Amino acid sequence: MELDIFLTNCQDKIGYKFNNPAILQTALTHSSGADTPEMSNERMEFLGDSVLGHVICEYLFRSFPKMLEGEMTKIKSAVVSRTTCHKIAIEIGLDKFLIVGRGLSRISHIPNSIFANAMESFIAAIFLDGGLDAARNFILKVFRHEINKMIADCNASNYKSTLQQYSQKHYGCTPEYMLLEIKGPEHFKSFNVSVKIAQRTFPATWGSTKKEAEQRAAENALAILHGDPPLYI
């Protein structure tokens, strides 16, 4: 396939049109497929990592004014991790456009870290081509689900931690979470969870994940213990 067509297909797949496709070519080129070190994406990987971290930090800081520093750090670390970058690269199809050397292309499984690095390089390419606003728009679009998932997990941990402290202080025991029911097909399950403290069982709640259901069960229990109606029925 001719290079111009290859780069055009990549832009169509990812959903960003480059003003300078040469920047995209560099971002896609692994060191094994580069004629010189300067023509690989290693330097862009370094820049992309910083741009990604900046955008995630700014988003959390501006969007969640009551979120504590430790919570923001935990979420940011998870979102910008190599594991998440690799996952996003596969989801948006970036793995289909990586330019590697013959030796690497012949192996059955290219290391996940190479795709994660390519994700960071691609972010750098958008930043260099269209500026911070373009990079921010792209990052928040493709990382949105992972950001929301990490926030939900963090909230779940907080509510459960708060309930545990309350339970230990007032009842001298640890809350017990009980999975009551699972509904739905494999790819779209719902989980029904209740929480029990001492001999008192609180209203069960549904969630799209077990963690989410436990979070809501903990919120329900905390609300009731403070004299308020349950938040989830």
Confidence of residue 108 (pLDDT cuts 50, 70, 90): low
Q: In the predicted model, is pLDDT for residue 181 greater than 80?
A: yes
Catalytic residue among 42, 71, 91, 120: 120
For residue 49, CA distances in Å to 2, 53, 118, 119, 161 come to 30, 6, 10, 9, 32
Confidence of residue 159 (pLDDT cuts 50, 70, 90): confident
Is-catalytic flag, 38?
A: no
- Identify the pLDDT of residue 35: 79
Residue ranges per structural domain of the chain: 3-142, 150-225
Q: Which whole number is the average pLDDT over 173-197? A: 93
Domain over 3-142 is classified CATH 2.30.42.10: no
- Identify the pLDDT of residue 37: 78
Is-catalytic flag, 120?
A: yes
Confidence of residue 107 (pLDDT cuts 50, 70, 90): low
The better pLDDT of the pair 17, 188 is held by 17
Confidence of residue 19 (pLDDT cuts 50, 70, 90): very high
Helix (H) or strand (E) holding 10: helix 3-14
- Identify the pLDDT of residue 187: 80
**Among 47-56, 122-131, 222-231, the least confident range:** 222-231
Catalytic residue among 49, 129, 146, 214: 49
Q: What is the distance between the alpha carbons of residues 77 and 84, in angstroms, rounded to a whole number?
A: 10
**Among 3-12, 61-70, 193-202, the least confident range:** 61-70
Confidence of residue 65 (pLDDT cuts 50, 70, 90): confident
Which residues are within 8 A (CB) of 224 and not within 5 positions of it... i.e. 6 or more apart?
202, 203, 230
Residues 42-75 as b or e (16 or more Cβ within 10 Å = b): bebbebbbebbebbbbebbeeeeeebeeebbebb
Confidence of residue 31 (pLDDT cuts 50, 70, 90): confident
The better pLDDT of the pair 124, 66 is held by 124
For the domain spanning 150-225, the CATH number is: 3.30.160.20
- Identify the pLDDT of residue 105: 59
- Identify the pLDDT of residue 8: 93
